[in-house]
Amino acid sequence: MPLLRSWIDSANSATTPFPLNNLPHGVFSVGEGDLRCGIAIGDRVIDATVLEAAGLLRADPEADVLDAPYWNDFMELGPKAWADYRARLTAMLAEGADEATQDALTTFSVPLAEAALHLPFKVTEYTDFYAGKHHATNVGTMFRGAENALPPNWLSIPIGYNGRASSVVVSGTDVRRPWGQLKAPDAELPVFAPCKRFDLELELGAVVGQASSGPVTVAEAEDMIFGYVLLNDWSARDIQAWEYQPLGPFQAKATATTISPWIVPKAALAPFRVPVPARERPLLPYLDEATPGLYDIDLSVSLAPAGKAASTISRTNYREMYYSAAQQLAHHTTSGCPMNVGDLLGSGTISGPEKSARGSLLELSWGGKEPLTLDSGEARSFLEDGDRLTLHGTAHGDGYTIGFGDCTGRLLAALADPYAR
Amino acid sequence: MPLLRSWIDSANSATTPFPLNNLPHGVFSVGEGDLRCGIAIGDRVIDATVLEAAGLLRADPEADVLDAPYWNDFMELGPKAWADYRARLTAMLAEGADEATQDALTTFSVPLAEAALHLPFKVTEYTDFYAGKHHATNVGTMFRGAENALPPNWLSIPIGYNGRASSVVVSGTDVRRPWGQLKAPDAELPVFAPCKRFDLELELGAVVGQASSGPVTVAEAEDMIFGYVLLNDWSARDIQAWEYQPLGPFQAKATATTISPWIVPKAALAPFRVPVPARERPLLPYLDEATPGLYDIDLSVSLAPAGKAASTISRTNYREMYYSAAQQLAHHTTSGCPMNVGDLLGSGTISGPEKSARGSLLELSWGGKEPLTLDSGEARSFLEDGDRLTLHGTAHGDGYTIGFGDCTGRLLAALADPYAR
pLDDT of residue B261: 98
Q: Is the peptide bond before B19 cis (omega within 30 degrees of 0)?
A: no
pLDDT of residue A117: 98
CA proximity to B175, closest of A178, A88, A337, A399: A337
Which residues, at least 6 apart from B175, have a Cβ–Cβ distance to it below 8 Å? B169, B234, B255, B256, B258, B409, B410, B411, B412
Query: Which amino acid type is present at position B223?
Result: D
| Contact between residue A194 and residue A414 where contact means Cβ atoms under 8 Å apart | yes
Of A151, A159, A164, the CB nearest to B125: A164
Residue of B nearest to A158 (CA): B243
Contacts with A244 from chain B: Cβ below 8 Å: 246-248
Please write the tens of the pLDDT for every residue from A35-52.
Answer: 999 999 999 999 999 999
Cα–Cα distance between A45 and A107 in angstroms, integer?
Answer: 11
Of A161, A165, A192, the CB nearest to B125: A165
Residue of A nearest to B220 (CA): A419
The reply to whether residue A161 touches residue B161, judged by beta carbons under 8 angstroms, is yes
| Contact between residue B22 and residue B271 where contact means Cβ atoms under 8 Å apart | no
Torsion A242-A247-A248-A254 (CA) sign: negative
Cα–Cα distance between B39 and B26 in angstroms, integer?
Answer: 6
Query: Which amino acid type is present at position B131?
Result: A
Burial of A103 (0-12, 13-18, 19+ CB in 10 A): exposed
Residue of A nearest to B185 (CA): A152
Which residues, at least 6 apart from A49, have a Cβ–Cβ distance to it below 8 Å? A36, A37, A38, A66, A67
* Mean pLDDT score, A390-394: 98
Which residues, at least 6 apart from A262, have a Cβ–Cβ distance to it below 8 Å? A18, A24, A25, A26, A40, A117, A120, A229, A403, A404, A405
Please write the tens of the pLDDT for every residue from A300-312.
Answer: 999 999 999 999 9
Cα–Cα distance between B359 and A107 in angstroms, integer?
Answer: 64
Pairing of strands B179-182, B202-208: unpaired
The reply to whether residue B191 touches residue A337, judged by beta carbons under 8 angstroms, is no
Residue of A nearest to B244 (CA): A247
Residue B41 has pLDDT above 90, yes or no: yes
String of DSSP letters for A285-333: GGG--SS--EE--EEEEEEE-TTS--EEEEEEEGGG-SS-HHHHHHHHT
The reply to whether residue A157 touches residue B217, judged by beta carbons under 8 angstroms, is no
Of A165, A286, A337, the CB nearest to B255: A337
Q: In chain B, positions 159-188, which contact chain A (CB-CB < 8 Å)?
A: 159-167, 176, 178-181, 183
pLDDT of residue B52: 98
Q: Mean pLDDT for chain B?
A: 97
The reply to whether residue B335 touches residue A252, judged by beta carbons under 8 angstroms, is yes
Chain-centroid distance, C-alpha B56: 31
Taking the CA of residue A391 and the nearest CA in chain B, the distance in Å comes to: 22
A336 touches chain B (CB under 8 A): yes
Residue of B nearest to A136 (CA): B246
The reply to whether residue B180 touches residue A215, judged by beta carbons under 8 angstroms, is no
Cα–Cα distance between B196 and A87 in angstroms, integer?
Answer: 49
Q: In chain A, positions 270-299, which contact chain B (CB-CB < 8 Å)?
A: 281, 284-286
Please write the tens of the pLDDT for every residue from A69-83.
Answer: 999 999 999 999 999
Please write the tens of the pLDDT for every residue from B107-121.
Answer: 999 999 999 999 999
Cα–Cα distance between B329 and B233 in angstroms, integer?
Answer: 18
Please write the tens of the pLDDT for every residue from B1-37.
Answer: 899 999 999 999 999 999 999 999 999 999 999 999 9
Which residues, at least 6 apart from A146, have a Cβ–Cβ distance to it below 8 Å? none
10 Å Cβ neighbour count for B83? Answer: 13
Residue B144 has pLDDT above 90, yes or no: no
Cα–Cα distance between A45 and A280 in angstroms, integer?
Answer: 45
pLDDT of residue A369: 97
pLDDT of residue B276: 97
CA proximity to B81, closest of B107, B52, B101, B109: B52
Cα–Cα distance between B26 and B11 in angstroms, integer?
Answer: 17
Q: In sequence order, what are the beta bridge partners of B345? A: B127, B206
Of A180, A249, A337, the CB nearest to B334: A180
Cα–Cα distance between B105 and B109 in angstroms, integer?
Answer: 6
Taking the CA of residue A248 and the nearest CA in chain B, the distance in Å comes to: 4
10 Å Cβ neighbour count for A288? Answer: 14
A130 touches chain B (CB under 8 A): yes
Side-chain-side CA neighbours of B68 within 13 Å: the count stands at: 11
Q: Reduced to 3 states, what is the DSSP secondary structure of residue A252? A: helix
Query: Where residue A65 falls among pLDDT bands split at 50, 70, 90?
Result: very high
Torsion B263-B268-B270-B275 (CA) sign: negative
Q: Reduced to 3 states, what is the DSSP secondary structure of residue A273? A: strand
Q: Reduced to 3 states, what is the DSSP secondary structure of residue A227? A: strand
Question: Catalytic: which of B25, B118, B134, B135?
Answer: B135
SS3 sequence, chain B?
Answer: CECCCECCHHHHCCCCCCCCCCCCEEEEECCCCCCEEEEEECCEEEEHHHHHHCCCCCCCCCCCCCCCCCCHHHHHCCHHHHHHHHHHHHHHHECCCCHHHHHHHHHCEEEHHHCEEECCCCCCCEEEECCCHHHHHHHHHHHHCHHHCCCCCCCCCCCEEECCHHHEEECCCCEECCEEEECCCCCCCCEEEECCCEECCEEEEEEECCCECCCCCHHHHHHHEEEEEEEEECEEHHHHHHHCCCCCCCHHHCCCEEECCCEEEHHHHHHHEECCCCCCCCCCHHHCCCCCCEECCEEEEEEECCCCCCEEEEEEEHHHCCCCHHHHHHHHCCCCCCECCCCEEECCCCCCCCHHHCCCHHHHCCCCCCCEECCCCCEECCCCCCCEEEEEEEEECECCEEECCCEEEEEECCCCCCCCC
Query: Where residue B290 falls among pLDDT bands split at 50, 70, 90?
Result: confident
The reply to whether residue A161 touches residue B160, judged by beta carbons under 8 angstroms, is no
Q: Mean pLDDT for chain A?
A: 97
Chain-centroid distance, C-alpha B173: 15
Residue positions of A annotated with a catalytic role? 135
* Mean pLDDT score, B212-228: 98
Contacts with A236 from chain B: Cβ below 8 Å: 335
Which one is predicted more confidently, A143 or A413? A413
pLDDT of residue B1: 85
Picking from A338-352, B142-156, B343-357, which range would have the lowest pLDDT averaged per residue?
B142-156
CA angle B400, B406, B411 (to 5 degrees): 165
Residue B143 has pLDDT above 90, yes or no: no
Residue of B nearest to A178 (CA): B335
Q: Is the pTM of this model over 0.90?
A: yes
Picking from A17-26, A72-81, A140-149, A221-230, which range would have the lowest pLDDT averaged per residue?
A140-149
Contacts with B334 from chain A: Cβ below 8 Å: 178-181, 192, 251, 418
Pairing of strands B257-259, B168-170: parallel
Chains A, B: CB contacts under 8 A, how many?
186
Please write the tens of the pLDDT for every residue from B48-62.
Answer: 999 999 999 999 999
pLDDT of residue A421: 82
Which residues, at least 6 apart from B174, have a Cβ–Cβ distance to it below 8 Å? B409, B410, B411, B412
pLDDT of residue B421: 82
pLDDT of residue A144: 85
Please write the tens of the pLDDT for every residue from A334-369.
Answer: 999 999 999 999 999 999 999 999 999 999 999 999
pLDDT of residue A355: 96
The reply to whether residue B243 touches residue A183, judged by beta carbons under 8 angstroms, is no
Of A162, A181, A217, the CB nearest to B157: A181
Residue A1 has pLDDT above 90, yes or no: no
A335 touches chain B (CB under 8 A): yes
* Mean pLDDT score, A380-408: 98
Domains and CATH numbers, chain B: 9-118 (2.30.30.230), 126-412 (3.90.850.10)
pLDDT of residue A222: 98
10 Å Cβ neighbour count for A99? Answer: 8
The reply to whether residue B251 touches residue A337, judged by beta carbons under 8 angstroms, is yes
Q: What are phi and psi of B222, to 5 degrees?
A: -55, -45
* Mutation to test the B interface, candidates A126, A250, A258, A349, most B Cβ within 10 Å: A250
Residue of B nearest to A149 (CA): B246
Share of chain A above pLDDT 90, in %: 98
Taking the CA of residue A213 and the nearest CA in chain B, the distance in Å comes to: 10
Of B162, B179, B180, the CB nearest to A163: B162
CA proximity to B39, closest of B90, B2, B91: B90
Instruction: Give the Å distances, CA to CA, from B130 to B107, B140, B321, B347.
Output: 45, 12, 9, 7
